[in-house]
Amino acid sequence: MKPRTIVYVDGFNFYYGAVRGTSYKWLDMEKCFLKLRQGDEIRRIWYFTALVEGTKGSRQQAYLRALATKPLVQVMLGKFKLKQVKCGVTGCTYPGSKVFDMPEEKRTDVNIALQLLDDANRDRADQFIIVSGDTDLVPALEMVKAQWPAKRLVVYVPSRNPIRGAAVELRNAADKHKTFPQALLKVCQFPASLSDGRGGVIHKPAEW
């Protein structure tokens, strides 16, 4: 029997590690993980992100609408919170005290951890696929192994940089770990235009 499987994708970690700077941002997550995990019965693909503003926000909204057309994909939103950062560049001419506001993504690692533990506790799957390189998730993985030792944890680290992709603690907390295969991106893209299922059409952002 195929193992019941749930996938958890850390959206920003995946973006910066796997697709930033490529022409493969218009990724069909459902197609991607069905192809990647052909021996599994995938029950759900969780995609964790936070809403951004401006031009990038409009592109993100198009992508989230595209993801919403896929039955297996569920989006969970965190939020951005402004934090004060002091410029460390010598000779910085930023007005005032060289302190400026920078948006920082919040809640994603907590949301992933809570959803993972809830799914394990409710026995929604036999196997959990974590797509991230964030070591803040280590305690959640360790708790799953301690409380439900029969559950299987697999980590895919999305990174083209060997240093960034090391994620030693996170990899060691899993039963199995791999680096996300970049070759999948090209063959798992949404079409340039697709129906939203309600009479509308979703278009791939021109910049992508």
Within a domain: 25? yes
Within a domain: 182? yes
Within a domain: 109? no
Express each pLDDT in 195-207 by its tens digit.
999 999 999 999 9
- Compute the 3-state secondary structure of the chain and give helix, strand, coil in percent, each to the nearest 5: 35, 30, 40
Within a domain: 13? yes
Residue recorded with tokens 């070591």: 135
Residue 27 belongs to domain spanning: 4-79+115-203
Domains: count for the chain: 1
pLDDT band at 106 (very low <50, low <70, confident <90, very high): low
Q: Which CATH number is 121's domain given? A: 3.40.50.1010
pTM recorded for the entire structure: 0.87
C-alpha distances in Å from residue 37, one per residue of 41, 117, 157: 8, 21, 15
Within a domain: 142? yes
Express each pLDDT in 19-41 by its tens digit.
999 999 999 999 999 999 999 99
Question: Which one, of 81, 13, 5, lies nearest residue 47 by Cα?
Answer: 13
* Dihedral sign (CA 176, 182, 188, 193): positive
Q: How far apart are the first and last CA of the chain?
A: 39
Within a domain: 47? yes
